[in-house]
Amino acid sequence: MACLREVVDGPLPDIAARLSRLLAESWPHEALVIFTRECTGRPRKVAGKDDIVDRVTIDELADLKRSVEPGGVAAGLRLFAGVQQYIWVVRDVNGVLLVIVPKRRGAQTVDLGPIAAVFGIVATSIQQQVTQASPDYLAESRAASAERARIITELTEIHDATLSSILATLRSNDLDDRRSRITASETASAALIELRTKGAMDRALSEEAVTTAFARLQGELRSILRHRDIDVDYVEPPADGRPLPGEIAHAARAMVRAVVLTLSAQTVVTRIRIAWDCDGSNLAIEVRDQGPGTIDCNALSRQLSGRVQTLNGQMDIESIAGWGSRIVLRVPLDPPVSRSDDHIFSSLNPRELAVLSQLADGARNKAIAAELGIAESTVKFHVASVLRKLGAENRGVAGAMAVRAGIVGSAPQRR
C-alpha cells in the first residue's frame, strides 16, 4: 500500500514511470502506456523502451480503448507501436486506458485482475488531479499543449506545402503517362486529406465544445447541491461559441465549483445564477447569488488566484451585506503570444514549475522550501535542474524568463 501511495502522490506527468516501477517485479514488462483524453497536454504517459513508446500513436490507443469495455481487460496480439505484438490491456471504468508490453510474450495465461485493481486507484487519482485543475497541473498542461500544437502546426505546414506542390506538378498537362500521373495524384490527394484529418483529431483530443464543458459543470454541481434547498439558474454559452482548450475547461469548472461551495455555505441562500459566455477570445464567467453577502472575499480570492494567474486571467469579487455576492472571472482562450524560447518551459515538470514560479517572485531557497513543504536540499536540486533546462546563468535570469512567460503564482499548496 505504501508503494501505491508513492505512485499516486507525485507529479502527474511521471505517473506512468512510478506505476511501471511498482508493477515491474510481479509483472516484468518492456513498456507501459497510460492513455486518457482528460489530460489534454499529455494524453499519453509512458515508461519503458524508447523504441516502443516513441512509436505508439493516439490512433492505436483509441482503437484499443474502443475494443475493451469499461472495466474490462484483454490480452493477445494487437497492433501496437506500429507492429503486431502481445500486450495486456486494461480499461478502467472511468475510461483511462493502460497498455503493457510484457517481457514474456506469447499466448500464456495471465490474471490481469490484480493489475486492474491497482490501476483503478491510479486512474481515479489521475481523474481527480485533472478535475481539481490545480495551478501546477494547469501550467504543465498548457505548456505541453502549446508545444504539441507548435510542432503539429509546423509539420502540417511543411507536409501540406509539399503535397500541394506534388499535386500541382502531377496535374500539369506537360507531363506524359496519364495513368501513372492519375495514380500518383490520387495517392497525394489521399495523403493530404489524411494529414488534415490528423490535425482535426488532435484538436478533438485537446478541446471541449463550450456547451459540452458547461453541461459537465451542471452535472458536477447537481451532486454538490443535491441536499441543499437552492435554486440554480444556468445561463448557457452560445452554441456556436469557440471550443475551449482542455485546461481552460477543467479550470473553469473547478473555479465555479469553488465559488458555488463558498456561496452555498452562507446561512441563507435561495438562488444562484451561473452564466458563461465566449466572445471568441475569452471565456467570461459570472456567478451571483441572492444571499446575505457575507462571504470572505479575501479567502475566496486566495483560493482562486493560483488558477487565474496561471491562465493569465482576471477576477472581480464583491459581496455586499444584504444584497448578495457577485464573482466575475475572465480567462483568455489563448496563451500569451509565444516567443522563440517559450517551448523550453514544456521540459519542466510540475514541481520544477512550482519552484520557478517562486524564483519569479525572488524567493530564496529557505522560503521556497517552507512554501512547498519540501527540504531545502530538494529545492537546491530543483533549482539546478531548472537552470540547466532553461539554459539560464543564474536564478535571477530564470526568474525573469518566468515573468516574461507569465509563469507566476503557480505553486501548489503545501503537502
Between CA 92 and CA 68 the distance in angstroms is: 10
Between CA 404 and CA 409 the distance in angstroms is: 13
Judged against a pLDDT cut of 90, whether residue 267 lies above it is answered with no
pLDDT of residue 203: 53
Judged against a pLDDT cut of 60, whether residue 22 lies above it is answered with yes
> 297 with 320: CB under 8 angstroms?
no
pLDDT of residue 73: 95
- Domain boundaries defined on the chain: 2-132, 137-206, 210-332, 348-405
Percent of the chain with pLDDT strictly greater than 90: 37
Per-residue CA distances from 206 to 12, 67, 246, 281 (Å): 17, 22, 5, 17
pLDDT of residue 57: 85
- Mean per-residue pLDDT, 163-192: 68
Give me the residue label for grid cell 490491456. Answer: 89
- Mean per-residue pLDDT, 302-323: 91
Judged against a pLDDT cut of 50, whether residue 316 lies above it is answered with yes
Which CATH number applies to 210-332?
A: 3.30.565.10
Domain 348-405 has CATH 1.10.10.10: yes
- Mean per-residue pLDDT, 130-143: 74
pLDDT band at residue 106 under the 50/70/90 scheme: low
**pLDDT tens per residue across span 339-389:** 545 567 777 887 888 899 888 888 889 989 888 888 888 898 889 888 888
- Three-state SS annotation for the chain: CHHHHHHHCCCHHHHHHHHHHHHHCCCCEEEEEEECCCCCCCCEEEEECHHHHCCCCHHHHHHHHHHCCCCCEEEEEEEECCEEEEEEEEECCCCCEEEEEECCCCCCCCCCHHHHHHHHHHHHHHHHHHHHCCHHHHHHHHHHHHHHHHHHHHHHHHHHHHHHHHHHHHCCCCCCCHHHHHHHHHHHHHHHHHHHHHHHHHHHHHEECHHHHHHHHHHHHHHHHCCCCCEEEEECCCCCCCCEEHHHHHHHHHHHHHHHHHHHCCCCCCEEEEEEEECCCEEEEEEEECCCCCCCHHHHHHHHHHHHHHCCCEEEEEEECCCEEEEEEEEECCCCCCCCCHHHHHHCCHHHHHHHHHHHCCCCHHHHHHHHCCCHHHHHHHHHHHHHHHCCCCHHHHHHHHHHHCCCCCCCCCC
pLDDT of residue 138: 76
Identify which of 269, 259, 261 has the alpha carbon closest to the alpha carbon of residue 292.
269
Q: Of 61-65, 121-125, 391-395, which gets the smallest average pLDDT?
A: 391-395
**pLDDT tens per residue across span 210-242:** 999 999 999 999 988 888 889 999 999 998 888
pLDDT band at residue 414 under the 50/70/90 scheme: very low
Choose between 360 and 187: higher pLDDT: 360
Which amino acid belongs to residue 10? G
pLDDT of residue 411: 41
pLDDT of residue 219: 92
Domain 2-132 has CATH 3.30.450: yes
pTM for this entry: 0.58
Judged against a pLDDT cut of 70, whether residue 198 lies above it is answered with no
